[in-house]
Amino acid sequence: MILNLIEKFALGKYGKWFGLLCRLTLGGVLFAAGWLKIFTPTKSQMAVRAYEVLPISLANFLGIFLPWFEVGLGVLLILGIGVKLSAFFGGALMVLFIAAISQAWARGLSIDCGCFGGGGTVDPGETKYLSEILRDIGLALMGLYLFRYPLTRFAVEKLTKTERE
Amino acid sequence: MATSSSGGDKFTRNLVIAMVALVVVVGAGFSYFGSKGSTTAAIPSSVSKDDGYGIVFNADVPNVPTIDIYEDFQCPVCARFAGINGMTIEKVIEEKKAKVVYHVLSFLGTESILAANASACAADEGKFLAFHKAFYNNQPAENAGAINADFLKSVGAAVGITSPEFATCVDNGGYADWVRNVAEAAAKANVNSTPTVFVNGKEIDRNTDYFNVEAFAKAIAG
């Protein structure tokens, strides 16, 4: 039912414009988030370790790799190249972030998500888990929309015929 | 609405994706090797590799607890921490009641590296604690360009470090590799915030012990 409505909207007059909005929002957020962390790798590693989920060596690896990955996805989404693929990874990243933040909240850790730089352990009164999760849910839904309807306005890439159907 | 060049589009698309992927991998590689420590780094005096490259006080005093203190010279909370507990720590060191290891981290940016390097230069003069205290008492704003060689030399001068060696050491930044070693060791020790204090390898209580003189003194008594 609601899926039908979404489908109707997506294929209608404003669907591709909304797709553009999603691309620029998700892409812009990913690019900014990555860019702000690229130049302080030790801080970014600290932010990942603070979630206390991964083994330290893996967390340290991700702390260095993730910012660059986010920048790459952001660039592709903003340009509108490989939208389906980058929207998939962008959305999947958001789902992982939601899971990571939720578990930190549930376990009573007090950390900053470190999404846009920063991160690490903070005073218990300074956590903002709910707003972080709500933001990431919004972004994940945008990723899902783009994955389903990758054809958008002002994209560099023209989809081939088979991909359009 | 198929275009005749759709095959070409696909090739271009894959090329762009491949290029972006390459930049991501190469960039991440640079970040990795750029932040990696070095076994040949010049090491300031009183630094011990076995203590995470920290600056060690009372290394040879037997049967006392080990206190590891992780800080970043640019972190405002560290300045607050030093203001509240600095006296306690200095007293513990003076009375040889604990082995104290300072780990000067640099995750807040390049100016943290400059400050950490200068603190190592001060350690060579046997004046790490004095430099540390004077720096925090005059801590400039984060990454505002205020922490430069002139400023760091003036902090040194304020605590009586006037030797030309100190000035050269600050100017040359010769301990930058060591600063990376400190950061790498802290990453392996799972330090996720500054300040962080470990007593015998266990963190003191972040909710109660950090910013209260009595609670802190009790927590580090071991």
The per-residue pLDDT for range A56-67, each reduced to its tens digit, is 999 999 999 999
Structure tokens at B137: 């008492």
List chain B residues with CB under 8 Å of A158: 3, 6, 9
Tens digits of per-residue pLDDT, A22-49? 999 999 999 999 999 999 899 999 999 9
Mean pLDDT of the region B149-169? 96
Phi/psi region, residue B139 (left: phi>0; alpha: psi -120 to 50; beta: rest), is: beta
Q: Which pTM does this prediction carry?
A: 0.86
Phi/psi region, residue B44 (left: phi>0; alpha: psi -120 to 50; beta: rest), is: beta
Which residue in B2, B12, B27 is closest to A68 by CB distance? B27
Size of interface A-B (CB pairs under 8 A): 98
Q: Please state whether beta strands B99-105 and B66-72 pair in parallel, antiparallel, or not at all (unpaired).
A: parallel
State whether A82 and B34 contact (CB < 8 Å).
no
State whether B193 and A79 contact (CB < 8 Å).
no
- Residue A163: which pLDDT band, with cuts at 50, 70 and 90? low
Q: Which of B15, B112, B192 to probe the A interface (max A CBs under 10 A)?
A: B192
Question: What is the C-alpha separation between A3 and A68, in angstroms, rounded?
Answer: 34
Answer whether residue A161 shows pLDDT above 60: no
Q: Tell which B residues from 168 to 207 touch A, by Cβ distance under 8 Å.
A: 183, 187-188, 190-194, 196, 206-207
Question: What is the C-alpha separation between B9 and A19, in angstroms, rounded?
Answer: 20
Q: Is A118 on the interface with B (CB under 8 A)?
A: no
Domain ranges for chain A: 37-155
Tens digits of per-residue pLDDT, A80-138? 999 999 999 999 999 999 999 999 999 999 999 999 988 888 888 888 999 999 999 99
Burial call B54-76: b when 16+ CB within 10 Å, e when fewer: bbbbbeeeeeebbbbbbbbbbbe
List chain B residues with CB under 8 Å of A110: 206
Answer whether residue B222 shows pLDDT above 80: no
ipTM: 0.85
Which residue in B6, B16, B24 is closest to A69 by CB distance? B24
Tens digits of per-residue pLDDT, B2-33? 444 455 678 888 999 999 999 999 999 999 99
